[in-house]
């Protein structure tokens, strides 16, 4: 008998699920902790965006034609 395959969770699905949670169930300390975690995630995403922009700019500079 085969075991059931692990269900793949789509990219970003956990975040989407977290955004739908009922916040009335959380206490004040839990909400403050959640805000801290979300701010840390925002900083992490912004840093990744900066890295990708820098990589893109480097590639553009390398492969672009020089102006005549």
Give 7-57 pLDDT, tens digit per residue. 888 999 999 999 999 999 999 999 999 999 999 999 999 999 999 999 999
In a domain, 6, yes or no: no
Global pTM value: 0.73
In a domain, 51, yes or no: yes
The gap between the terminal CA atoms of the chain, to the nearest Å, is 69
**Total structural domains in the chain?**
1
In a domain, 5, yes or no: no
In a domain, 37, yes or no: yes
In a domain, 32, yes or no: yes
Structural domain harbouring 40: 27-68
In a domain, 62, yes or no: yes
In a domain, 61, yes or no: yes
Are the C-beta atoms of residues 41 and 48 closer than 8 Å to each other? Answer: no
């Amino acid at each position: 008998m085969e075991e059931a395959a692990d269900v793949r969770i789509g990219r970003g699905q956990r975040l989407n699920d977290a955004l739908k949670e009922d916040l009335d169930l959380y206490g004040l300390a839990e909400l403050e902790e959640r805000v801290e975690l979300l701010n840390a995630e925002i900083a992490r995403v912004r840093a990744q965006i900066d890295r990708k922009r820098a990589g893109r700019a480097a590639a553009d500079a390398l492969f672009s034609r020089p102006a005549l």
